Amino acid sequence: MALLQVQGIRKSFSGLVALKNVNFEVREGEILGLVGPNGAGKSTLINIISGIYRPDSGKVVFRGREITGLPPHRICRLGITRTFQNVETFPELNALENVLVGALFGKRNGDRSEALGRAEEVLRFVDFPQDKLEVKVKNLNVGELKKLQLARALATEPKLLLLDEVTTGLNPKESKDAVKMIRRIRDSGVTILMVEHIMRIIMGVSDRIVVLNYGEKIAEGTPREVANDQRVIESYLGEAYSFEG
């Protein structure tokens, strides 16, 4: 059975239809890429799955249970955590404290010392610089912030991690490291649904890809299938994507 099922999702914002009848599944253990032009509805879909928006119609089913319309903290406790396209943190808290919030939030009976251990562990796991654990988050650079928000998400111990543009703003070396990190997270047993703009990254890291355009799913398949899809080429890629070079 699929880990997550998105069924017939529709969402409009005062007349503007952001998603229409979107259907797809996320399989346990996969990295599913979600792509499409600006305004295609990718972040809206992440917001619906994570409970920030309620869809006008349609269902979200996680591990066989309908979660449509549940508040974000309940969805998080069930095992779905997300990162934000624009990194959101508590700027006056230090890095460790920010991750501690995640560690305490995900757990039903928050034991502080256990949560602290978990926060330190995930910060090491994402290669966050150990000498900056007590630096206020407002003083971190973008690469450090991206690691921090990954760590905070992982601290809640998700089954499904929703990533919205984690490599945006990173330099090529940092992006490469981020891709390695995403694979490591998957290999540790977390299923991943990720939105990403850079074709080379999404084609290289995804097991399957879903393509949205103006709120509609226009293609779904392996990176090669999607890259050769005529509608995807016309509406998004512009030209056939080359896997070489």
Ligand X SMILES: Nc1ncnc2c1ncn2[C@@H]1O[C@H](COP(=O)(O)OP(=O)(O)OP(=O)(O)O)[C@@H](O)[C@H]1O
**Where does this chain bind Mg ion (CB under 5 A)?**
42-43, 85
Task: Please report how close the Cβ of residue 40 comes to ligand X at its closest, in angstroms.
Answer: 4
H-only helix segments in 31-141? 42-49, 72-78, 95-106, 112-125
Binds ligand X (CB under 6 A): choice among 20, 42, 82, 147? 42
Task: Please report how close the Cβ of residue 210 comes to ligand X at its closest, in angstroms.
Answer: 12
> Residue 134 CA to chain centroid, in angstroms?
26
The burial class, CB within 10 Å (0-12 / 13-18 / 19+), for 112 is exposed
> Residue 192 CA to chain centroid, in angstroms?
7
Determine the Cα–Cα distance for residues 49 and 83; give it in Å rounded to an integer. 12
* Interaction of residue 16 with ligand X, rule CB under 6 A: yes
* Interaction of residue 132 with ligand X, rule CB under 6 A: no
- If phi > 0 it is left, if psi is from -120 to 50 it is alpha, else beta; for residue 29 that is left
CB closer to Mg ion out of 4 and 163: 163
CB closer to Mg ion out of 10 and 197: 197
CB closer to ligand X out of 13 and 130: 13
Angle at 154 between CA 76 and CA 157, to 5 degrees: 55
* Interaction of residue 38 with ligand X, rule CB under 6 A: yes
Residue 167's SS3 state is coil
CB closer to Mg ion out of 118 and 217: 217
Determine the Cα–Cα distance for residues 118 and 96; give it in Å rounded to an integer. 10
Give, rounded to a whole angstrom, the gap between the first and last alpha carbons of the chain. 37
Closest CB to Mg ion: residue number: 43
Partner in contact with 36, chosen from Mg ion, ligand X, none, beta carbon below 5 to 8 Å by kind:
ligand X
Binds ligand X (CB under 6 A): choice among 40, 100, 153, 190? 40
* Interaction of residue 3 with ligand X, rule CB under 6 A: no
Binds ligand X (CB under 6 A): choice among 7, 25, 30, 39? 39
Restricting to residues 79-108, name those near ligand X by CB under 6 A: 85
Residues within the interface to ligand X (CB under 6 A): 13, 16, 18, 36, 38-44, 85
